[in-house]
């Protein structure tokens, strides 16, 4: 078992390395270089040459890649072109805002979608199931900003119950924090709820229709024991995968939500970086999100291997 987990970890590390190559490559193949981007229209040949020398852009791309990667590993994320501040400082102050948003949304959407998915699966084909299936099918296709704007219009603009800005201050008490965060958290939860529910439903149904469940039911086991002893341990691994997949899906959801509600978070920093073409900032932010995404998927795999003995022996 440990060997498989270790192999999986090594694979994850390799993926991360590939991701870093993609990020570095994508920002390197642009026509012109960072020096041209900094100097803009007013550049002269001499200034360009000096700046390139200063930033070490004359070295071959492969050397710069390893230099950049080495810096990343040691926590040196480079210097922002737009603000001239270290990227690490800029990220540090904003990381918590994004993390808090994602954690709160996960704390709400995961139990809710698991419960709804299970309920739907227990009554497969029934009225509840059909209604939920239709609703989630529609919800999946609704853009996050539409959900966010509707919630904002109703609760912040019309009813004035909640705040439309998620910009919290350190001196805020619990209720002020709640008012500020309720809408972005709700929007983000909505964005992953439908997906997670549908995936939970199908994996639970998959298990309920398997031969050993039929066997256990025919044996006359009470329903409680059927669910707790037979279905749940087997359902654990697909459900963990579902959760990790959707948490990583939040990475793209959170980009929209932070923009809608003006959260001063990490993705806002990334989008600003893209607008200003601040390459070191883009690289660092993309690397962080990529790492989180890959880590979550890795976690799901490892947990599934631990929960399900069948996965420990690859064919």
Partner 1 sequence: MSDATELPTPRASIFAGLRLTWTAAIAGSVLLFWLILALFGPWIAPHGEAEIISGTTFAPIGEGGLLGTDKLGRDVFSRLIYGVRTTLLLALITTVISFAFGVTLGFAAAILKGWFDIVVSRIVEAFMAFPSTLLALVVIGAFGTSITVLVLTVGLVLSTSVFRVSRALGYDIGVMDFVEAARARGEGTWWILTREILPNSMAPLIAEFGLRFTFSILFLSGLSFLGLGVQEPAADWGLMVQENVGGLFLGSSAALIPAACIASLTVSMNLLVDWFQQRQQGETVLEKIDQ
Calculated CA dihedral for residues 101, 107, 109, 110, nearest 10 degrees: 130
Residue 245 to residues 8, 120, 196, 249, 308, Cα–Cα distance (Å): 16, 20, 9, 6, 18
Does residue number 275 form part of the binding site for partner 1 (CB under 8 A)? yes
Residue 239 to residues 115, 137, 231, 242, 304, Cα–Cα distance (Å): 12, 19, 12, 5, 9
Which residue has 């909505």 as its token pair?
Answer: 190
CB of 167 to partner 1, least distance (A): 15
Q: What whole-number distance in Å separates Cα of residue 54 and Cα of residue 276?
A: 21
CA geometry: angle 143, 146, 147, nearest 5 deg: 95
Does residue number 309 form part of the binding site for partner 1 (CB under 8 A)? no
Does residue number 303 form part of the binding site for partner 1 (CB under 8 A)? no
Does residue number 202 form part of the binding site for partner 1 (CB under 8 A)? no
CB of 307 to partner 1, least distance (A): 22
CB of 192 to partner 1, least distance (A): 13
Does residue number 39 form part of the binding site for partner 1 (CB under 8 A)? no
CB of 267 to partner 1, least distance (A): 9
Q: Which stretch binds partner 1 (CB under 8 A): 39-47, 103-111, 216-224, 265-273?
A: 265-273
Does residue number 22 form part of the binding site for partner 1 (CB under 8 A)? yes
Does residue number 238 form part of the binding site for partner 1 (CB under 8 A)? no
Does residue number 41 form part of the binding site for partner 1 (CB under 8 A)? no
Among 5, 82, 99, 271, binds partner 1 (CB under 8 A): 271
Extract the tokens encoding 239.
Answer: 């459900």
Which residue has 């966010």 as its token pair?
Answer: 148
Does residue number 161 form part of the binding site for partner 1 (CB under 8 A)? no
Does residue number 299 form part of the binding site for partner 1 (CB under 8 A)? no
Does residue number 190 form part of the binding site for partner 1 (CB under 8 A)? no
Does residue number 273 form part of the binding site for partner 1 (CB under 8 A)? yes
Of 22 and 49, which has the nearer Cβ to partner 1?
A: 22
Does residue number 210 form part of the binding site for partner 1 (CB under 8 A)? no
- Contacts for 246-250: CB closer than 8 Å, 24+ residues apart: 246/109, 246/113, 246/192, 246/195, 246/196, 246/199, 247/102, 247/106, 247/192, 247/296, 248/292, 248/293, 248/296, 248/297, 249/191, 249/192, 249/195, 250/102, 250/105, 250/106, 250/188, 250/191, 250/192
Q: What whole-number distance in Å separates Cα of residue 216 and Cα of residue 88?
A: 56
Extract the tokens encoding 69.
Answer: 């990667």
Of 191 and 231, which has the nearer Cβ to partner 1?
A: 191
Total chain residues near partner 1 (CB under 8 A):
50
Residues that bind partner 1 (CB under 8 A): 15, 18-19, 22-23, 26-30, 134, 137-138, 140-146, 149-150, 152-153, 157, 164, 248-249, 251-252, 255-256, 259-260, 270-271, 273-275, 277-279, 282-283, 286, 289-290, 293-294, 297
């Amino acid at each position: 078992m440990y060997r498989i987990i270790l192999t999986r970890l090594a694979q994850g590390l390799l993926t991360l390395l590939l991701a870093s190559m993609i990020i570095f490559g994508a920002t390197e193949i642009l026509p012109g270089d960072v020096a041209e981007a900094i100097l803009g229209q007013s550049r002269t040949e001499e200034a360009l040459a000096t700046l390139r020398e200063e930033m070490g852009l004359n070295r071959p791309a492969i050397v710069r890649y390893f230099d950049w990667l080495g810096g990343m590993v040691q926590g040196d994320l480079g210097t922002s072109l737009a603000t001239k501040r270290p990227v690490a400082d800029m990220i540090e102050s904003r990381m918590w805002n994004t993390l808090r948003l994602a954690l709160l949304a996960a704390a709400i959407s995961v139990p809710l979608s698991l419960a709804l998915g299970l309920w739907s699966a227990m009554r497969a084909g029934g009225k509840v199931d059909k209604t939920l299936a239709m609703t989630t099918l529609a919800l999946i296709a609704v853009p996050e900003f539409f959900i966010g704007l509707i919630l904002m219009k109703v609760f912040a603009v019309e009813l004035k119950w909640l705040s439309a800005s998620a910009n919290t201050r350190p001196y805020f008490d619990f209720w002020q924090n709640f008012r500020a965060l309720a809408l972005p958290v709700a929007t983000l939860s909505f964005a992953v709820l439908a997906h997670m529910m549908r995936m939970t439903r199908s994996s639970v149904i998959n298990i309920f229709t398997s031969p050993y469940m039929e066997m256990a039911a025919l044996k006359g086991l009470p329903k409680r024991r059927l669910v707790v002893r037979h279905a749940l341990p087997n359902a654990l691994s697909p459900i963990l995968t579902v959760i990790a997949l959707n948490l990583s899906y939040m990475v793209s959801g959170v980009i929209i939500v932070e923009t809608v509600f003006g959260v001063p978070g990490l993705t806002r920093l990334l989008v600003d970086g893209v607008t200003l073409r601040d390459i070191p900032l883009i690289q660092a932010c993309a690397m962080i999100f990529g790492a989180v995404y890959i880590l979550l998927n890795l976690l799901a795999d490892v947990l599934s291997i631990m929960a399900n003995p069948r996965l420990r022996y690859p064919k």
